[in-house]
Each structure stands twice: as structure tokens, then as C-alpha cells.
Amino acid sequence: MFFMKSIITISFFALSVGAMAQGNITNDMLRKFASESKLTGSERAISNALAAGPVSGLALNQANQTEQNTYFSLSVPSKGITDQKSSGRCWLFTGLNVLRAELINKKRLNGMEFSQNYLFFYDQLEKANLFLQAIIDTRDKSMDDQTVLWLFQNPLSDGGTFTGVADLVSKYGLVPVGVMPDNYTTKNTAQFTTFLKRKLREDALQLRSQAKSSEKALQQLKEKQLAEIYKMLVMGFGEPVKEFTWAPKDVDGRYCADPQKYTPQSFYKEMFTNDLQNDFIMLMNDPTRPYWKTYEIQYDRHVYDGHNWLYLNLPMDEIKECAIASIKDSTMMYFSCDVAKFLDRNRGIADLANFNYEDIFGVKFGMNKAQRIQSHDSGSSHAMTLKAVDLDEKGKPVKWKVENSWGASSGHNGHIIMTDEWFDEYMFRLVVNKKYASEKILKAAQQKPTLLPCWDPMFAGEE
């Protein structure tokens, strides 16, 4: 019997080695690769240049560096460019920029900016609670369950979506930037976030070790853990403002009215009439899934008792019609895209003709938008405020402009101009007021959404 088992084991091992050998890189293959990869003189020059500088510098299409037409037939007025610095809070800056543009126009203010720090404090606290509660909710699953693995890999981030803005503002209100300004930690989030995530993972293991405890006991333990997170946030961001005094100012910095006392909630309610959670519709262009269907993504939210990112998937032409209608009515929109693709950051131009990477490497990059999404090569990575469109004589868009949050010196005076062709390939999300959407869109948005898993490619929060 032992002899038979040994033969079987050896035979299985031989089969395994043979199967592995079929997929190995062999010496013959290496020799073939080397013989077929002899560089020409021009390729050696490119190789030398790559050793000294970035690929984008070599791939720059000089013929596309001519002066850009910066005229836009339709544009929403705005005042001032914000700067998220070295943080992933573009979603928060963008959402608040949409709100401040509305307030500036409605109140005829000289300028206005809301405190990102104030809402970011509660964003991080709420995300910590979302993670810890999800750990409690999945405590009966094994550690190698895909959802549990995903949770431990993603306990918290500084990225997000408009849904987070809507839930946070509705729950915690708003304060002017001068009441609770940014500091070094909020402008440079990476290191501080690392320690938050480390603590949360440790807390999650503690919760799972108590999985047999009662729900009440687990909630008490979670509350104790959140108190420590709260203290860390106070140390990093400062104590959240509970009450403040504010009045609008003129161009000389003088009050235009008597200062009034506010809480963050009373300030928001006095300044805005929009219902952020019900007046807007989230639109997506994801060609990997059927259009005219609604989807939501598990755990893609900021607040445990809030809302997942829920969107209607639409063809690009339908999304563009909503965007144009909003711009015509002088209303900015929350917009997100895969910003780094074919972006000339110095000029602030996003154009498919900006770079020619194929000629640099002598290979073809032929994936379409759907294939880039499926292979995780492309996705929504950055949020900005859509504010302008240039239409041709037939009313078709030629180019678009967004207000960015990388400071006034970045790009085109703090903006990015996108060709319509680039827009088609790398634009993903748009949030518009429902009054700019057609009846067909509003009706389609009422469908019961398909729930997608948290590891879906479309989860990625804007940073």
C-alpha cells in the first residue's frame, strides 16, 4: 500500500512539474526574446532618454502644443480656486465648490468657501464607524471571506463621492472656511490616515475575537474604540466647531450685515433650500453594463446609516444633454473622471492627441473604454466641478471645462479643458439637479437598483 501511494505521489508530482513547465519562461524563449529585441539607433536613443526622464515627456505630441482656444459659448461664473494640497479630498472640495457657487450667485457674495476640515473630521469618524460596524455585521464569516478581506484591505480612506457630501452636510451642516481652516495634517493626509487604518484594523480584530458576545456588548466595545478614533481626529484636525458667528463681507472685507450666531446645522438650513439627498440624480457612463439600469455598490458610502453610491447608467449623449441644460441655467455640477489619462498638466489640457505612447514603445494600446474598466486599467479617480461647454453651430459639444482643486497656478488658471473626444473616453460620473434631467431619465432612476459588491471596479472613490 505504501509503495502504491508513493507511485501515485511521484506521478502526480511529475504531472504537476510538467504542467508548470508548459507555462514557464524557458532559456530558449529568453534567447528568442533577446534576438528579436535588438534596438535600432533611434530606439537606443529613446532608451537613453527614458533613463533620464518621464515617458510623458518623450511621448508629448509637439504638433498638439499650439495655442488652445479657451473660448466657451456657455460658462457658469465662479470666484476663486481651491486647493486640496496633498490630500485625497477632491470629492469634498468639489461638492462644496458646487454649493459655494450656488450661494455666491444667490446671495451676490464677493466670495465664499466652506470648511473642508470641518466635514472631513466627521467623514473620517463616520467611515471608522462604517468599517467597525461592518466587521460586527460580518463576524460570522471567515477571515478569508471576500467581503471580510476587502474590509480589512480598505478600512478607511480620504477619497469619496458626492453621496458622502450629501449625507455629511445633511447630518452635520456647514461652516465657513475661516471658522475651521485646514492645517498641515488635513492638507497632507497620507501619514495620519495610515495610523487611523492601523488602529481600526487592530480594533476590528478585537471585535472579531469577541464574536460570540451579545450585540449590546459589541456595540459598547465599538463605542469605546470610536472614542479613541475621535481623540486621534481631534489631535490631528482640531475640535469640531459647535457654534460660530458669521456675516457676509464686501470686497474690502467689511461686513455687509450684522454678524449672526449659527450652529453648523442652522447655517446650512438658512443658506440653502436644496435637499441634497433627494434633489439630485447620480449619472454614470459604464459601457460594461446595460444602460438605462440603476446600480448601487455595497459599502460605497461614508455614513453607516447613509446611502450607498446609487447611479443610473446612461449613454454619454444622455449625460451630455443633462450637463448642457445645467450649464445653460448657470448651475455647476459634481463631475468625475480618470483625470491622469492624456492630461497635459502644465497647460491644463486633456486631449487624446496630447501624447503618442505607441510610437515610443513600438506597441499598440488598443483597449476601448469597456475593456479598460474590466481590466481595472481605468476608472473614476478624481472629482472636479463642471462649469463650461463650448458648442458648435449645430449645438454639439466641442470641449468642456472644469474648475479643479489643485490651486490657481495649476493647469489653465486652476481649470482643466477637455476635448469632447477625451470626455467620451474618460468621463465617468456626473451629479445633476433632477430638474435638468428628462422624464425618461427620472423614470428610469426609479428602478430597483442592482447591488454590486464592494470590490466592483466602479467602487473607487475620487481622490
Q: What are the residue numbers of the active site?
A: 90, 382, 404
- Rounded Cα distance, 97 and 441, in Å: 25
CB contact at 8 A, 163 and 310: yes
Residue 450 and residue 440: Cα distance in Å, rounded? 19
What angle in degrees, to the nearest 10, is found between the helix axes of 116-137 and 162-172?
100
Report how far residue 93's alpha carbon sits from residue 286's, in angstroms, rounded to the nearest whole number. Answer: 24
Strand partners, 397: 391
Which helix (H) or strand (E) element contains residue 389? strand 382-391
Cβ atoms 257, 273 nearer than 8 A: no
Tell me how far apart the alpha carbons of residues 331 and 432 are, in angstroms, rounded to a whole number. 9
Given the C-alpha cell 458610502, which residue does it identify?
Answer: 301
10 Å Cβ neighbour count for 440? 11
Q: CA-CA distances (angstroms) from residue 349 to 8, 64, 369, 415?
A: 64, 10, 20, 9
